[in-house]
A = this chain, B = another copy of it.
């Protein structure tokens, strides 16, 4: 019954099922980090809008200083000094020099700056220059930082905190970004209770909705929770149809028994299409991938660790397509503390704890959630690897 595909195939399928969200919104600078540019962002003016000194010193014609040296200074006539924060409202003529602060406006006519330490005022209206200046030396020219009409950020760029700096410099106070994807989410399983329910024999709390919601937030998506659907085909179909109509993507977290995933697949094929049933990963095999109309739908395994790894390995690529940009990876290189033998034919995901640069595997029985809480991250072992030896270098993906 299971049409099992590899993790790589599942990830490509997931990425291709989704489409970038079409709606945009306008945000101010502090709200931008993590968001994705909806269009190219172009500078409307030169930055700086004037030629600027990068040193405390003297604005000069470079040609006037050629040949200047410690034993052969050039004598230039001092003009008014350039004042910090004010335009240099005069022209510098050949044979003249103007005191200028770092960041000061280079007077018209000047084309270089001689730093303070290579110059000496004589107290009688002249300054001696002890070092030749090349044209443009210690000068940021108009538009050198950002040129008018230059593309600051391409459409699809995910802004970081430092992106904000360039926007502020260019006087850009707001940007259009893609709306955060909305991800509909619900649980099924006759044994599943809300977190607020008291513990009881045979019952399990709805861990997955909370786990996935938290992961979705981190991925820049907005989870929309539709509750725990009663364990009947009709109820699941109704919830799925509603969620698919109101969201960019839908995640169902199934119960733990094998029959649950078959139920998900049955409902999905009735309302839309099942594209894969089973992914060659451990944990995470009982995963269903499909769509209802244009909306990608994933049936996630009930076990929390499996649910988590399917989200990072299979759902995440679909979210990246929706978001319009890749999500940043957080990787730490470490050495495995002990031998680990893996199953052939399935990509394996192993929780690890980091101690310095050692990655210590955390094992957990099937369905156990606490292994996740003790882990700093996980490693991914390709399905054609027979295992890893103690001391092997591994890339730990941080949670």
Q: Which residues of A pack against B, CB within 8 Å? A: 29-30, 32-33, 45-50, 52, 54, 56, 82-88, 101-105, 140, 144-146, 152-153, 160-169, 171-173, 189-192, 195-211, 213-215, 217-218, 255-258, 302, 304, 308, 328-333, 364-370, 372-373, 375, 398-399
Contacts and interface: CB of A to CB of B under 8 A. Distances in A.
A304 B145 CA distance: 12
Lowest 4 CB-CB distances: which A-B pairs, in order? A166-B373, A85-B191, A161-B214, A87-B201
15 contacts: A30-B213, A30-B214, A48-B204, A52-B367, A54-B367, A84-B257, A86-B202, A103-B302, A162-B399, A163-B214, A168-B206, A168-B211, A168-B369, A169-B369, A171-B198
Contacts of A256: 102-103
A27 to B, nearest CB: 12
B145 A211 contact: no
- Residue with the highest number of chain B CB atoms closer than 10 Å, among A168, A205, A365: A168
Nearest to A86: B202
B369 A207 contact: no
A170 to B, nearest CB: 8
A195 B365 contact: no
A202 B33 contact: no
A361 B192 CA distance: 53
Contacts of A213: 29-30, 164
- Residue with the highest number of chain B CB atoms closer than 10 Å, among A83, A190, A256: A256
A88 B201 contact: yes
- What DSSP secondary structure best describes chain A's contact surface? loop
Contacts of A32: 214
A330 B328 contact: yes
B190 A84 contact: yes
A172 B198 CA distance: 11
Contacts of A207: 165, 168-169
A356 to B, nearest CB: 13
A308 B211 contact: no
Nearest to A163: B373
Contacts of A165: 207-208, 210-211, 304, 308, 369, 372-373
B49 A201 contact: yes
A114 to B, nearest CB: 16
Contacts of A47: 199, 369-370
Contact of A205 (B169, B214, B370): B169
Contacts of A329: 332
A257 B84 CA distance: 9
B162 A210 contact: no
A372 B162 contact: yes
Contacts of A204: 48, 103
Contacts of A189: 85
B169 A304 contact: yes
A199 B172 CA distance: 11
Contact of A373 (B162, B200, B308, B364): B162
Contacts of A372: 162-163, 165-166
Contact of A333 (B30, B49, B333): B333
B217 A368 contact: no
A140 B367 contact: yes
A50 B215 CA distance: 29
